[in-house]
Structure 1
């Protein structure tokens, strides 16, 4: 069993704890929480967990080798926490977005080079779902790609308060929030995993009253096709995502949840591409990261890890490029 600690006790943190339990690969041994509510939520199912209110003491604990950083700490706090974890010799799993700009990412990579025993994962959970592997296999079999349209739009909790004038975390530039940063990275991960890095990218955003991007459309240019990505955190969309082959089409119900995948062949016959789905959507990443950490020197695992790290770098660089195009600046930008 891999012993891990967790920072935060929000809904996402509890979701990862549940996924880790389901995987039977992880054991929660330590938690850093800032509120009694977070502590109580974790203690309810894991009373044996050692709790910390001091982050330095938490990272000095010998009771765990990996830390999961959830978004209960604002996104901008991820960077110093990641650095502190690496310096303490802890593997790091971070709920996206892990880092806010390429400068931060470069510094993390420099730390990783000086601590080669440590692994850093940005937990882009859809990539580790079985259904994503089915999509990847189907795309590779297509004789040609004509393009794709992805949609990731979900109204985030608290938007009514934002409309009333409040500046909530996740909805403001000062909290490194907005649609691109909070939700857009997932379809970017999907696009880069399926089609590689684009030759160019553009972004058209609709601002909300906080100055952040509430809605937007990303255009990715490839040598032989284009990809359009619709994102938003101020409204819901039920429009599916589609990948266009020559005479075939892959239809995905939700690019971040991947519950239903259909492949329409050249005769317009539908073939269901679903396999197993996990009750907890984070189970796939819990299993995947555990496999890397259990046998880090396995050649295949080293290749997988390096691929994920490069993918995280590409997504981080593209997010920064796209928000720069529309004038979105975060306090962390140099």
Structure 2
């Protein structure tokens, strides 16, 4: 049984706890918040008594083996480092860090400490993501891929009213590519690996983060277009086009439906049943890695490639974070 603590007391933390407990491989033992009363209120829902408002005290506690980090993006890497240095396994919400330099430092340190470092990228662990992978050979020679994830932020109204919510604040390493575009980008890298090259475009808000944008990943025989937005809602499916057919995927972030359309054949529904809370699958994989003591695992390569692309894309479109000037130690 993996004894784990959580950093963050928002809805996504509740979702991960629900998913982790459902696997039967975790025991929630600790909750952290900057305000101890807030941590205690959150912990009471789960019958947990160990609460912290001191991160160092939590990281050094003998009462937990692992931590789930769901704080603002800019805090993911330094908090992960703190727990890694105390020999704790870390599952950090995407993006795992603000930039590629932080990712590389985290990976090096985690492997030196012999602990599992894992990015909570739910997309690539779902059963229907495996269905996409299985369907690709049925398309013949792949030619065009369009991956779209556009979701109007619930905080955009506050931003337009003159507030400065975390979700549109570069101090917290935010923006559309970091928060939204990372899903389809991670799906592309998970399926096809590192591209030969890429181009990036983005529209910036006055706050300094990107509101929406597009990446084009260039492979030898095909391109992948990644469309993302935090200021508009998208309803179209993602699409994989081959010379012998087309694959449609509903909701690329969770892969809710997969349908194969081969030329001259009836549409083939390839969707398999999934847990409603798809974080269940990332929790299962994290537990498997810990149990196997698999500190060096293939998903770290995907995380590195994605972070390197996002870091360079931000440079191209002009998004700069304070974290880019800091050294992780």
| TM-score normalised over the length of structure 2 | 0.95
Quick one: distance in 1 between partners of 2:246 and 2:293? 37
What count of residue pairs does the alignment treat as equivalent? 324
Of the three residues 256, 259, 264, the one matched with 1:259 is: 256
Calculate the aligned-residue CA RMSD, in Å.
1.4
Does 2:128 match 1:137? Answer: no
For residue 37 of structure 1, report the CA deviation from its aligned partner.
3.9
1:46-83 per-position Cα deviation (integer Å, ceiling 9, x unaligned): 1134111111111111111110001xx22111111111
Does 2:292 match 1:295? Answer: yes
1:118-169 per-position Cα deviation (integer Å, ceiling 9, x unaligned): 0100110011111101111111443310110011111111101111121110
Structure 1 residues 245, 39: closer, same or farther in 2, change over 3 A? farther
After TM superposition, list the pairs within 5 Å mapping 1:154-233 onto structure 2. 154-233=151-230
Give the aligned partner of residue 55 of structure 1.
55
Of the three residues 239, 252, 257, the one matched with 2:236 is: 239
For residue 236 of structure 1, report the CA deviation from its aligned partner.
0.7
Does 2:106 match 1:112? Answer: no
Quick one: distance in 2 between partners of 1:240 and 1:233? 17
Preserved CA contact (<8 Å) 1:28 1:49: no
Give the aligned partner of residue 97 of structure 2.
99
Give the aligned partner of residue 18 of structure 1.
18
Quick one: distance in 1 between partners of 2:112 and 2:317? 36
Preserved CA contact (<8 Å) 2:23 2:284: yes
Give the aligned partner of residue 276 of structure 2.
279
For residue 233 of structure 1, report the CA deviation from its aligned partner.
0.6
After TM superposition, list the pairs within 5 Å mapping 1:315-326 onto structure 2. 315-326=306-317
Quick one: distance in 1 between partners of 2:175 and 2:91? 22
1:255-283 per-position Cα deviation (integer Å, ceiling 9, x unaligned): 10211110111214211111121021200
SS in 1 for 2:286: helix
1:273-320 per-position Cα deviation (integer Å, ceiling 9, x unaligned): 1112102120011111111111225xxxx7xx5210111011000000
Preserved CA contact (<8 Å) 1:93 1:120: yes
Preserved CA contact (<8 Å) 1:261 1:272: yes
Quick one: distance in 2 between partners of 1:247 and 1:181? 34
Question: Which blocks of at least 5 consecutive residues in structure 1 are unaligned?
Answer: none
Preserved CA contact (<8 Å) 1:139 1:194: no
Quick one: distance in 2 between partners of 1:288 and 1:31? 22
Preserved CA contact (<8 Å) 2:139 2:241: no
Give the aligned partner of residue 40 of structure 1.
41
Of the three residues 114, 120, 123, the one matched with 2:120 is: 123
Quick one: distance in 1 between partners of 2:48 and 2:99? 37
Preserved CA contact (<8 Å) 1:79 1:99: yes
Structure 1 residues 292, 141: closer, same or farther in 2, change over 3 A? farther
Preserved CA contact (<8 Å) 2:76 2:93: no
Question: Which blocks of at least 5 consecutive residues in structure 2 are unaligned?
Answer: none
SS in 1 for 2:29: strand
